[in-house]
């Protein structure tokens, strides 16, 4: 949860592009993409967090309710190696695109009347949908 590429929890923010061994959870989660867990490779090549953070611009995509909890952690909680995606908070030009299901646990969606979340100052746009909440 909260991985970027195949940078699992515990990955160093200085990690570089490398060959990694996939843990059981990652292999299980990828099973549907490979027509069964038996077909999922045991290794993968991934850009390291350090390599990713050297980019001029970062874009993170998150879709579906399965990403909601970890997206909220990555965006609204502190930077931690337990949630590799949280390192995007340290990048000067990162953007997250997500659907409403993935955004469901974000404070500005769940509780739009709360103006701050964790360490971030958020600007809440009071659209008619938000006002209904």
Structure tokens given for 22? 């996939």
Active site residue 129: no
46, 18 Cβ separation under 8 angstroms: yes
Instruction: Confirm if 102 and 64 have CB atoms less than 8 A apart.
Output: yes
Q: Phi then psi for 75, rounded to 5 degrees?
A: -95, -40
Catalytic residue among 8, 76, 77, 125: 8
Looking at residue 8, the DSSP 8-state letter turns out to be: -
Give catalytic residue positions. 8
């Amino acid at each position: 949860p909260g991985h970027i590429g195949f940078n699992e929890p515990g990955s160093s923010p200085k990690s570089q592009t490398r060959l990694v061994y996939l843990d059981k959870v990652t292999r299980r989660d990828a099973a549907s993409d490979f027509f069964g867990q038996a077909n999922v490779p045991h290794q993968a090549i991934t850009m390291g967090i350090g390599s990713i953070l050297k980019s001029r611009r970062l874009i993170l995509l998150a879709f579906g309710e399965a990403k909601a909890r970890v997206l909220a952690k990555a965006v609204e909680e502190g930077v931690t190696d337990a949630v590799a995606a949280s390192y995007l908070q340290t990048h000067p030009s990162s953007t997250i695109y997500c659907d409403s299901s993935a955004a469901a646990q974000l404070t500005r969606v769940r509780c739009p009347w709360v103006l701050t979340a964790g360490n971030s100052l958020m600007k809440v746009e009071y659209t008619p949908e938000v006002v209904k909440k």
